[in-house]
Structure 1
Amino acid sequence: MKIAQLLHNPGAGDEDHSKKELVDLIKSEGFDCRYASTKKGDWKELKSDVDFLVVAGGDGTVRRVAKHLLNRKLIEKPYPIALLPSGTANNIAGALNIPTDRPEPIVESWKADRRKRFDVGLVEGLPKRQFFLESMGYGVFPALMRKMKDQQEKSTDTPEEKMNVALDVLADIVQSYEARPCRINVDGIDYSGNYLLVEVMNTRSIGPNLVLAPAADPGDSQFEVVLVSESQRMGLVTYVQNRLNGIEGDYWGTALKGRTIRLKWDGVEMHLDDQLIKSKKPRDIRVMIHEGALSFLGVPD
């Protein structure tokens, strides 16, 4: 019997599955299950007899677990990650085509032991080397993150309501944000210019489920670099407003493919996944790819 280590964030999204419900569900599919809450410090104590990790939470919880795994020594046992997404956006689950509506078929799929390798972005040029799973970038998304910190979030808001608030704020930002100069080099080719948005993406969607790079594959050893210039402002505005009105679709812009990206943004704010980073001055940043640094379980064919 395979042993699953359940790492549960009981406060993620509209989480309504208790510890008992999750453990019982995993055991009902023939797995042994151990439980740890990511709200407590001992969740990082992973035993060598564990076969895989189960992360029950949102993108932020996945990032916390990934950070711990990436910081472990190379000689330590690697663990594949199985997701039970329960966050607000669940962009990582979306990139892996893992459904977010019902946990039962997800747990059942783990029996097939299908795995998907997942690249990780490495960022140099900050005080210490950083990483990202979804994206890093400049412009309107760091501005959105800063403004959302000032929003009074209601505990009763559903994930859909939270995302609509973010989309509404983003629509206002995109209409008024002043394009800034950015030096950009993608695999030796210069794309420098003035941009509202610069995103180096590993997943196809970021933030409130905005699909900016529909062709992105987190296991193809390449990034998708999305650039939005002044001439493309209204296209991005229209896309965000369509999402607010319930009209599904992908952003119409073109993404560049690359493995090594050099950037210098004329500003001091950037983001790595859901982390807002502010520097004292513009920085020369180098972004590289760590191929197959993680492995995810239960990914559909």
Structure 2
Amino acid sequence: MKIILLYNPNAGTEDFDLAEVIGSLERQGARVVAQNTKEEGFEDIFKLNYDLVLIAGGDGTVEKILLELHDSKVPISLLPAGNANNIAGSLGIAGFYPDTVKNFQQENFQKLSVGVFETEGEKGRFIEGVGWGLFTALLQQIERGEKEESPNGDKVDFGSKHLRKLPKELPAQDYEIEIDGKDYSGSYLWIEVMNTRQLGPQLVLAKEADHSDEYLDVMLVKEEQLKELQDFLKAHEKEEVASPFETIKAKKVKVKTHLPFHVDDSVVEHKSLYEGTPQVKIKLQKHQLTLLNTDPKSFKKN
């Protein structure tokens, strides 16, 4: 069995030991080729023949590789080694690798849908979600250098702390929204079109989301729900709590607005303000990725 191990040497946790992981995989009988994802041209590794891709890193690394492999039929395993680890958390994947080969041989897999967004000037994919309002505003502040990062490097703590302050500063905005042909236009503080259960500083925004189904989950927070939003964000600083806002199952979402939006952890500005209001179309691609379950409790019994 041939495994490509992609790793981020700058991941946010000290628990990842590259030599230990490689040694464990080789003792299981695998042949391993390790590749630093920070090296230019790392994608050339995919020209090799392989049976499994193992991604070790935080959400940024995981997203980058999953989107690179968006049409791949080869199974993928995750070894979460970041701060938030939203993708692994949403999928119920633990940082467990000693039984990777056994896991692969037993075909203990799950499916992961990949999202697609399209504007007049751009088209791309996402893993976690696309949204407007609160989380986009936080990402913009970080990009502009308005927020100093946490001195201990804890991005979850940093994100939770600053996100809680935003509802007081951020006015509601008007959006034209169509979900599977039904009009949901209105004034909102926060809009998230989720593929996974959580994003950002481990915010569980779509607790009923199923990453393997054919639906996205849309969260719409109205202006009159400000107090409820503030209470949720305040509670989240202390412990993991699920969003109190209901989500809408959707196959196709259209949002019209001139405002910037986020795609996973990146901010996207409309490239051209053409005639009329810019529109963003969001859906899931047909092909799903195959991921290994790595929780020991999930192994199939022969």
* TM-score, length basis structure 2: 0.89
Structure 1, 7-16 or 184-193: larger mean CA deviation = 7-16
Structure 1, 87-96 or 186-195: larger mean CA deviation = 87-96
| Contiguous gaps of at least 5 residues in structure 1 | none
C-alpha change, 1:264 and 1:271, in structure 2 (3 Å) is same
Amino acid at match of 1:204: R
- Within the candidate set 248, 253, 276, 1:261 is matched to 253
Q: 2:76 and 2:190 mapped to 1: Cα distance?
A: 31
1:200-239 to structure 2, matched below 5 A, reads 200-239=193-232
- Asked if the contact 2:58/2:81 (under 8 Å) is kept, the reply is yes
- 1:80 positional shift: 1.6
- Within the candidate set 276, 294, 297, 2:289 is matched to 294
Amino acid at match of 2:85: N
- Asked if the contact 1:196/1:230 (under 8 Å) is kept, the reply is yes
Q: 1:250 and 1:104 mapped to 2: Cα distance?
A: 31
C-alpha change, 1:106 and 1:232, in structure 2 (3 Å) is farther
State, as a whole percentage, how many aligned pairs show the same letter: 31
The count of corresponding residues between Structure 1 and Structure 2 is: 289
Amino acid at match of 1:96: L
- Asked if the contact 1:226/1:254 (under 8 Å) is kept, the reply is yes
1:198 aligns with 2:174: no
C-alpha change, 1:227 and 1:92, in structure 2 (3 Å) is same
1:241 aligns with 2:234: yes
1:1-301 to structure 2, matched below 5 A, reads 2-45=1-44, 46-70=46-70, 78-100=73-95, 103-104=97-98, 109-149=103-143, 150=145, 151-153=147-149, 157-158=152-153, 161-244=154-237, 246-265=238-257, 267-279=258-270, 281=273, 283-298=278-293, 301=298
Q: 1:254 and 1:299 mapped to 2: Cα distance?
A: 30
- Asked if the contact 2:94/2:294 (under 8 Å) is kept, the reply is no
Structure 1, 133-142 or 145-154: larger mean CA deviation = 145-154
Q: Report the RMSD for the aligned CA atoms in angstroms.
A: 2.1
Q: 2:210 and 2:93 mapped to 1: Cα distance?
A: 14
C-alpha change, 1:231 and 1:129, in structure 2 (3 Å) is same
- 1:269 positional shift: 1.3
- 1:90 positional shift: 0.9
- 1:175 positional shift: 2.5
Amino acid at match of 2:141: K
TM-superposition CA deviations, 1:76-113 (whole Å, max 9, x none): x632210001112111101210124x554667644432
C-alpha change, 1:230 and 1:106, in structure 2 (3 Å) is farther
- Asked if the contact 1:121/1:131 (under 8 Å) is kept, the reply is yes
Amino acid at match of 2:114: V
State the secondary structure of the residue aligned to 1:195. Answer: strand
State the secondary structure of the residue aligned to 1:41. Answer: coil
C-alpha change, 1:202 and 1:79, in structure 2 (3 Å) is same
C-alpha change, 1:186 and 1:85, in structure 2 (3 Å) is same
- 1:296 positional shift: 1.0
- Asked if the contact 1:106/1:298 (under 8 Å) is kept, the reply is no
- Asked if the contact 2:206/2:217 (under 8 Å) is kept, the reply is yes
